[in-house]
Chain A
Amino acid sequence: MNKTFNNKAWWMVFPVFLVVAFNALVPLMTVVNYSVQETFGNNEFFWSGTIWFQQLLENDQIRDSLGRQIAFTAVALFIQVPLGLAIALCMPRKGPWVSVCLVLMALPLLVPWNVVGSMWNIMALPDIGLLGKTINAMGIHYNYTRDPVAAWFTVVLMDVWHWTSLVVLLCYAGLVSIPDAYYQAAKIDGARPWAVFRYIQLPKLKHVLTIAILLRFMDSFMIYTEVIVLTGGGPGSATKFLSIDLVQKALGGFDLGPAAAFSIVYFLIILLTSWLFYTLMMRNEAN
Chain B
Amino acid sequence: MSSNNAMHRSHNGWKTFKRIVAFKRKYLSIPYFVFLILFVIIPILIILVYAFTKTTDAGNLVFSFDSLVEFFSSTTKLNVLVVSLFIGIINTILCLLIGYPIAYLLADKKVNKNYVMVMLFVMPMWINFVLRTGATRDVLYMMGIKGGEHPYAATLIGLVYNYLPFTILPLYTTMIKLDKSQIEAAKDLGCNPAQTFAHSILPQSVPGIVSAAEMVFMPTMSSYVISDTLSEGKLTLFGNSIANSFNNSLWNDGSFMAFVMLALIFLTMFITNRFHKDETIEKGRLW
Does B associate with A? no
The interface of chain B, by Cβ under 8 A from chain A, is none
